[in-house]
A and B are shown apart, each in its own frame.
Chain A
Amino acid sequence: MKSDEELNEILFQRKDLAIIQSMIPENARVLDLGCGSGRLLKALKVSKHAKVTGVERDQQKLLQCVERGVPCIHSSLDDDLVAFSDNTYDFVILSRTIQAVRRPDLVLGEMLRIGKKGIVSFMNFGHINSRIQLMLGNMPVTRHLPRPWYDTQTIHPATICDFRDLCRKKDIKILREIPLTSRGDYLPQFAKFCPNLFASTCIFVISR
């Protein structure tokens, strides 16, 4: 059976990854936590000559990274990331993974210990579709996260507001906030006033 993420990749051409890619400058040092099969890192290596490292817990995906020539460390994000020293990367990416780690708050702390900036993208459970489903009595099942509540890696669903609150609490600066539609496009004008209601995904750039 395919994981949530793999299904996503089939359903969508991950425009959020394209946006993340555009934010990375030439020759940057980039660490991708939960890098999957290494597509983003490979793209960054080729197009930006970035010095890349991935972290992935799934052995099969790790093999795909190595096949792509992307250096990758076999580890779960729930284990400590002490293998990575302070301030050794320019960007630490956490793409559609935060909802699956045991302690998102600790992972955010680790990201900003290891890197200067963090880039976090995740599904917004405050989206109107999710709210309607919840109002009708069921946990939300979305196109991006199509698995039912009992069989999903999403153990920490969160909204855009939740993420902002967490950053405030942990004294993390939000440098940019890029809400996206379910197709990965920028929000239409009317919706920009309330991304928590209309954005399906959001990308945050954060720093200490």
Chain B
Amino acid sequence: MTIRYETYGTLSENGDNAILVEHALTGDAHLAGYHTPEDKKPGWWEAMVGPGKAFDTNRYFIVCSNIIGGCSGSTGPRSINPDTGRRYNMDFPVITIADMVRAQKRLTDHLGIRKWLCVAGGSMGGMLALQWAISYPDSVNSIIAIATTSRVSPQSIAFNWVGREAIMGDPTWMNGNYEQQPMRGLAIARMLAHITYLSDESMRKKFGRHLQDSTDYSFEFDKDFQVESYLEYQGTRFVERFDADSYLYITRALDYFDISDTAHGDLSQTFANIHMPFMVISFSSDWLFPAYQSQELVKALLKCGIDTTYCNIESSYGHDAFLLETETLGSLITSFLTNRYVEVKA
């Protein structure tokens, strides 16, 4: 098995400053900075990771790894199956969030890290963080779970289903054995998902009813509105960087995520044997993983007597806020990590 990872900062002598940052559905190990001067964009959480930033690389050793099932360097459905010498494609086993964490534990051991100061992540990354707390409670000192949920709701499952249907309904998908990506299907899946990352308010502010190129309606079915062009652009860009089969496998792993499975569905008992502090953060306009889902999690944590901090950040950005509300989020993370590190050292 291959795991691609990146590290930032320096591991302290006694290894007490290591933080694992988990990426979201379509993220990767490239957390911050530029690989080459030609790179157009920095890593996906550039605003939060670096010297003097919330995940302060002067103080902490930050690790980010691509999840298994992904398509950015770690083993996934498009990897070569050593038994056949061909790509796995749909022969790749259906995996879960817990499987992804199990693979990361092997990376952790490989890096010689006994205990993470913190495991932090947003969206699916938050689920991975929660899973770490349950799977390896002795290997984690604290958890930051942002814009996430303890169990994926039927609404999210519904969106994932339609996204996969778009991919699998594309004739060029060829049961997963494509050489060229099923471009249309994957772009539609992305456009659909992208809508769920925004909010009514953010779309209204960003696009209004503005037209893209003309001054009047075309009265045809091509793109008229800015919002249409924007989605089309997002879909096209996505196909260049993400793989359709990976999208199927990862969204399926999301569907199966219910952290309370480990306690026979009783969320309030799920964290009974856990002692590490949690910080849970939601965003007021997030309708993909709405605040009530974080509050449900907070209730379960408090019931188990866990040190819990919860903030529902006021924001109009929808689910995407976890990448955009960097000021408030940065303040919370900076404070939380600083206090954790002080306590660990004491």
Contact = CB atoms under 8 A, between A and B. Distances in A.
Contacts of A74: 310-312
A71 B277 CA distance: 9
B309 interface: yes
Contacts of A51: 307
A53 B308 contact: yes
Nearest to A55: B310
Interface stretch (A77-85, A101-109, A133-141, A145-153): A77-85
A84 B328 contact: no
A86 to B, nearest CB: 10
B210 interface: no
Contact of B328 (A63, A82, A88): A63
Choose among B295, B302, B312, B331 the residue with the greatest number of A CB atoms under 10 Å from its CB.
Answer: B302
Contact of A66 (B303, B305, B335, B342): B335
A85 B305 CA distance: 10
B276 interface: no
Interface residues of B, number: 24
Nearest to A31: B302
A63 B332 contact: yes
Given A59-B314, A62-B311, A69 B331 contact: no
B336 interface: yes
Contact of A59 (B299, B309, B311, B336): B311
Contacts of B62: none
B310 A73 contact: yes
A205 interface: no
A67 interface: yes
Given A63-B331, A63-B332, A84-B302, A73 B313 contact: no
Contact of B336 (A66, A75, A82): A66
Contact of A83 (B302, B312, B331, B336): B302
Interface in B133-180: none
B298 interface: yes
Instruction: Give the bracket for the number of chain A residues in contact with chain B.
Output: 10 to 19
Contact of B298 (A62, A63, A67, A73): A73
A72 B332 contact: no
Choose among B279, B309, B313, B331 the residue with the greatest number of A CB atoms under 10 Å from its CB.
Answer: B309
A73 B302 CA distance: 10
Nearest to B340: A69
B2 interface: no
Contacts of A59: 311, 313-314, 328
B10 interface: no
A150 to B, nearest CB: 25
B129 to A, nearest CB: 17
B309 A71 contact: yes
A53 B311 CA distance: 13
A66 B337 CA distance: 10
A37 to B, nearest CB: 12
A39 B148 CA distance: 30
Contacts of A62: 311
Contacts of A75: 310
A67 B342 CA distance: 12
Contacts of B311: 59, 62-63, 66, 74
B302 A63 contact: no
Interface string B302-324: 11010111111110000000000
A83 B295 contact: yes
B273 interface: no
A88 B314 contact: no
Interface in B264-302: 277, 279, 295, 298-299, 302
A62 B331 CA distance: 11
Contacts of B335: 63, 66-67, 69
Interface string B326-340: 001001100110010
A75 B282 CA distance: 12
A84 B302 CA distance: 7
B309 A66 contact: yes
Contact of B303 (A67, A71, A72, A85): A85
Interface string A112-128: 00000000000000000
Nearest to B300: A83
24 contacts: A51-B307, A53-B308, A59-B328, A62-B311, A63-B331, A63-B332, A63-B335, A65-B309, A66-B309, A66-B311, A66-B331, A66-B335, A66-B336, A67-B331, A67-B335, A69-B335, A69-B339, A72-B309, A73-B308, A73-B310, A74-B312, A83-B295, A83-B299, A88-B303
- Shortest beta-carbon contacts, A-B, top 9: A69-B339, A83-B299, A67-B335, A66-B335, A74-B311, A71-B307, A71-B309, A73-B310, A85-B303
